[in-house]
Amino acid sequence: MINGESYKVVVAEAAKNALLASGVGEIFERVFIVGPIMDGERCAGAVGFSVRENKFYVFKAKATLVAMGGAVHVFKPRSSGEGMGRAWYPPWNSGSSAYFTIRAGAEMTCQEVRFIPVRFKDAYGPVGAWFLLFKSRATNSEGGDYMVERRPELGNWGPYGRVKPVPANLRNYLGMLDVMDGKGPIYMRTEEALGKIADTYKDDPKAYKKKMKELESEAWEDFLDMTISQAILWASTNLQPEEKGSEIAAAEPYFIGSHSGASGAWVSGPADLQTKDTAPDYFWGYPNMSTVKGLFCAGDASGASSHKFSSGSHAEGRIAAKSAIKFIVENNSLPAVDAASIESLKAEILRPMENYEQHKNATTDPEINPNYLKPRMFMFRLQKIMDEYAGGITSQFKTNGPLLTKALELLAFLREDSQKLAAADLHELMRCWENTHRMWQAEAHVRTMLFREETRWPGYYFRADKPKLDEEKWHVFANCRFDPKADAWEMRTRPMKHVFPQPQEHEMLGG
């Protein structure tokens, strides 16, 4: 069984018991949250709908904690026909956190910092065990190891090219340079790595056989515990890891506040970790509260605090919840929500069903209609824009100012057409809103890549018109905010300040 599948149930049980057994809480499942409701500048809760019954939900709250994950399928995935939807990040995380915070008017950070993991190609099996446990190399079609042959390239990326371990995006970049030079495929040399380990037992045939069996089991279990589809792909292509290597590739871009991504809301830090210097910029009363009063974020929803992974996200959820309770105690009034605005949100959220009902008889095929578009086609349009103009897989993660400007032009048309989304049932209604959420994540991403006039994360994206790191001007956060009243985006920088003394050059070299 998948390890995460097993342990998530344990974590969920503790959460459910805490809420239900104590009598303080209630849980609504199968309710899709569309967006925020506001009382002026304060978040007043959320609206959404049941994906199983014809019910529109209004949740009025004194504080709201957003933890709805990051976003995948904003960019065209590698799996676009057979296996469509297969990605490294779970397909149900569709940018709901980003949409919620953006539409509430919260300041967002690191929206340009997408995450691209390198994984076994097409089934996204983890590479960590191979690189770290089995000490495997990855080589190009000519047998060259990009981590060795491309090493001088690291010198072009300031102090970050000299740290150990090499930053995730730079490791990606060295491999991408080989691919762009036409030296693919890149193979994880599983046969070489297993052979080397087994070699140490070559004088003892019995021990050798035992060791090989053990290694083979470990190799397969690594996938079966985490990414069963990779084991299926190996089995269906007759791949024996001890006999030949297996392709690895950079995945399509994802948006997550955890792992080696950083996108999310700009939130207050804790009071006690601030210095005199950082406090004015990083602290505004309640840890993990966004710039919107009463709106808290955790996990993939909060930005600039990477490498949280699963347990760190759990910890951050606890920190944010405690802070939110403090906020409630100190602001103990139910925000006022205007009934007319709720009715208008209800009409807007259900519009895709209205569009479908009104126009469904115009054609004989419900998928094709001159008056509406279905969420699936809408998603393809979004993914094409992002892939071709904003540095997706087919443009080898490269873009530039004019391409990004063109992307914004096309995204504006897409936003206009989002009014014509149509849903035949509740499931499609959810798909309509998931893809609208993705569209807003896309726009925040494009605008911030355009704003940051440098290339800082080659291997995630490369701005060909600004191909270098610019420490003097851009060693700062690039933040954005959507002003709901003006229907306009504002871009700004925030200073990068140190809570801990800055490491000296020799410390960075020492890793």
Partner 1 sequence: MPNFETVTVETDLLILGGGMAACGAAVEAAYWAKQQGLKVTLVDKAAVDRSGAVAMGLSAINQYVGLKDGVNTVKDYVDYVRSDLMGITREDLVANIAPTWIPPYTCSRSGASPFGKTSKATLCTRAAGSS
Strands 246-250 and 118-120: antiparallel
Whichever of 283 and 380 has its CB closer to partner 1, that residue is 283
Closest approach of partner 1 to the CB of residue 194, in Å = 23
**Nearest to 66, CA basis, from 40, 99, 91:** 99
Q: In this structure, what token pair is assigned to residue 378?
A: 């809408």
Q: Is 298 in the site for partner 1 (CB under 8 A)?
A: yes
Helix H, strand E, coil C: the string for 398-462 is EECHHHHHHHHHHHHHHHHHHHHECCCCHHHHHHHHHHHHHHHHHHHHHHHHHHCCCCCCCCCCE
Closest approach of partner 1 to the CB of residue 341, in Å = 13
Sign of the Cα torsion 385, 391, 397, 402 reads positive
Closest approach of partner 1 to the CB of residue 6, in Å = 9
Q: Is 499 in the site for partner 1 (CB under 8 A)?
A: yes
- Contact region with partner 1 (CB under 8 A), list: 174-182, 369-377, 383-391, 491-499: 491-499
Q: Is 430 in the site for partner 1 (CB under 8 A)?
A: yes
Q: Is 159 in the site for partner 1 (CB under 8 A)?
A: yes
Q: Is 243 in the site for partner 1 (CB under 8 A)?
A: no
Considering only residues 53 through 82, tell me which ones interact with partner 1, judged by CB under 8 A.
Answer: 54-69
Q: Is 277 in the site for partner 1 (CB under 8 A)?
A: no
Strands 264-265 and 108-109: antiparallel
Q: Is 84 in the site for partner 1 (CB under 8 A)?
A: no
Binding mask 367-406 for partner 1 (x = CB under 8 A): ----------------------------------------
Q: Is 226 in the site for partner 1 (CB under 8 A)?
A: yes
Closest approach of partner 1 to the CB of residue 111, in Å = 12
Q: Is 331 in the site for partner 1 (CB under 8 A)?
A: no
State in Å, rounded, how far the first CA of the chain is from the last one. Answer: 37
- Contact region with partner 1 (CB under 8 A), list: 191-199, 299-307, 382-390, 480-488: 299-307
Q: Is 163 in the site for partner 1 (CB under 8 A)?
A: yes
Work out which of 319, 377, 424, 491 binds partner 1, going by CB under 8 A: 319
Work out which of 85, 143, 270, 467 binds partner 1, going by CB under 8 A: 270
Q: What is the dihedral of CA 10, 15, 16, 18, to 10 degrees?
A: 120
Work out which of 204, 338, 354, 483 binds partner 1, going by CB under 8 A: 354
Q: In this structure, what token pair is assigned to residue 424?
A: 């035949």
Return d(Cα 347, Cα 433) in angstroms, integer: 13
Count how many Cα atoms sit within 13 Å of the Cα of residue 472 in the half-sphere of its side chain.
Answer: 1
Map residue 315 onto helix, strand or coil.
helix
- Contact region with partner 1 (CB under 8 A), list: 47-55, 185-193, 194-202, 369-377: 47-55
Considering only residues 128 through 157, tell me which ones interact with partner 1, judged by CB under 8 A.
Answer: 128, 157
Q: Is 346 in the site for partner 1 (CB under 8 A)?
A: yes
Considering only residues 174 through 213, tell me which ones interact with partner 1, judged by CB under 8 A.
Answer: none
Q: Is 311 in the site for partner 1 (CB under 8 A)?
A: yes
Q: Are 396 and 179 in contact (CB under 8 A)?
A: yes
- For residue 216, give Cα distances in angstroms to 190, 210, 240: 10, 10, 9
**Nearest to 245, CA basis, from 195, 302, 307, 172:** 195
